[in-house]
Structures are given as C-alpha cells and as structure tokens.
Amino acid sequence: MNTPAARALPPVTVCMVTYNAAGLLPDTFARLLTVTNYPAVRWLVVDNASSDGTAELVRQRWPQVRLVPMGANLGYPAAVNRAFGLADTELLVQINPDVRVEPDWLAPLVAALEREPAAAMAGGRILRPNGRTQFCGSNLHPWSALLGTHGAHDPGEHAARVDYHSPLFLVRRPAWESIGGFNELYSPGYYEDAELGFCFRRTRQPVLFVPECRAIHLGSATFALMPQRSFMSFYERNRLLFVFRNFPTAWLVCHLAAEWVKALGSLVRGYPLEYAQAWLTVWRQRAAIAAFRRSWQHTS
C-alpha cells in the first residue's frame, strides 16, 4: 500500500522473543503476519537459543522477518531489551509467540498513543482460549500479588488508564528508555511487566487500555513445560521482589497481612522449600530493595 494515508502512519517494529516455539509459530506467527493490516510495520524475531529448529523455521518460512539468534538463552526480560535495542522505530511492539491476534489489532493501539502524547504504552484485551478475559491492562491493588488477574478490574469496552500489559503491548521508545526497559532482575520472566507499568505510573506516563485490540493467549507456552517446583522457584521469588520493591507502604502492609494464603498454598501444592527460598532472596536483596524504594518515594 502506497497511499498518502499509509505513508503518514508511523512505522512500528513488531518484536517477538522465541524459545523452542517451532510448534506454535506455524499458527500464531503465520496468523500475525496475515491479519496485521498495518502497512508501516517491520518484523523482528529474537530467538533465545532454541534447540527445536525455531530459528531455522523463521528463516525458511518468513524471509521478510529479521531474525536475530542469540548465542544463549538470555531469559525473557533481557531478550526483549535486546530486541527493542535492535529495532529502529520509535514505536515498538512486544508479542509472545503463543498469542493469536484478531484482525486490525495494531492500528487502534497506534491511534491511542497518538491521541494521548503523554502515554507510554497501550494494549488491548487478552482472552483465554475459552473466550474469557485473561488480561485487560490489569489494575494492581494490594491483593493482586495473591489473586493475580482473578482480582483485577475489567474496564469493559471503554478505553481506560491501567497499570500494565502482558503479553502484548505497544510502547514508545523514549518512554521505554526513560525507565531502562525491563528489569533483568526478574529473569527468566514474570513480574518484569508489572514493575515496568508501575515505573510508568510513577513517572506520570499513562498506560492505556484499548478495547478495539483483541487477542487470544494460549498461555505459558514455554514455562508451562517446566516442572512445577522449578517454575515456582523463580515465580515466587519474582512475585515477592515485585511486591517489596513496588508496593506503597500501605499496600505492603495489607499484602503481608494475607501472605499466609500463599504460604499455605505452597505447602499444599508441594513447593514449601521454593517458597522459603523466595523469602530468603528478598532478605538478601533488602538493601537494594530499600534503595529502590527510596528512589521512587523521593520522586513520587
């Protein structure tokens, strides 16, 4: 398309981090390329040292995609940081390989950021395969780190300001760089997106929910393959690090009053050692946590 209207659209780089995603890409990535009706789009895949032929699949089937293989698995936060650093546009999309977008998902996100110049990020409604809402720019509150998305507010079909987006979002490069991108402390993944959203909110760079953008999330395509105890070892660590680093004091008190729910759950579900190790990590990080809290409390 080469119309004046098309040339006026700001270019967007759609980035995807892959790791052993060869079984997903023929459906999810092929659909992404097919239904993205946005002419000023560029494609970038950063492959995290997959061992299942993911990089070869992308190279052979989608030559229009820029493929950058990593020499090792960097983890999700670091790989996204690398992808965004390689892109050459001011507007950047991160989308997971297990997300199936619906048609015309991108243009509404771009339009939303153009309407609100101060906004840092925009995202839409993420559905489970059964059609129920999983993410809608979830608003975080004292119970969120216990309830997850089950306790999040749903803005419905109205545009709204929210706290964060996962696993699909559009972000302005200057806003992303002002925060420093994803914090790689949260490697291999989980809660880096929530901290990013909190940083945007503290620096008065709104995060927008755009109901016209919709996609289906198949869910934890990489992490779901891990043994539960291996997954919970870093999930609980990252959850607690996020809480202690980012919750306002009043929220932190409320959360700690109910943390026994997670403690009991770890015992019932068979990962009490991993839960205890997560608390040990928080204790060891206490000086860094205190310094981080002071940094945003002085600027809020």
Beta-bridge partners for 170: 93, 122
Work out the burial of residue 171: count CB atoms within 10 Å of its CB; fewer than 13 is exposed, 13-18 middle, 19 or more buried: buried
pTM, entire model: 0.92
pLDDT higher than threshold 90 for residue 230: no
Q: What is the pLDDT, as a whole number, of residue 141?
A: 67
Which pLDDT tens digit goes with each residue over 125-182? Answer: 999 999 988 888 777 766 665 655 555 678 888 899 998 998 999 999 999 999 999 9
pLDDT higher than threshold 50 for residue 297: yes
Break the chain into its structural domains and give their ranges: 4-224, 226-297
Assign domain 4-224 to its CATH architecture: Alpha-Beta Complex (3.90)
> Do 178 and 192 meet the contact criterion of CB atoms below 8 Å apart?
no
Confidence of residue 62 (pLDDT cuts 50, 70, 90): very high
Name the residue type at position 95: I
Which pLDDT tens digit goes with each residue over 83-132? Answer: 999 999 999 999 999 999 999 999 999 999 999 999 999 999 999 999 98
pLDDT higher than threshold 70 for residue 4: no
As a whole-number percent, the residues of the chain with pLDDT over 70 amount to 91
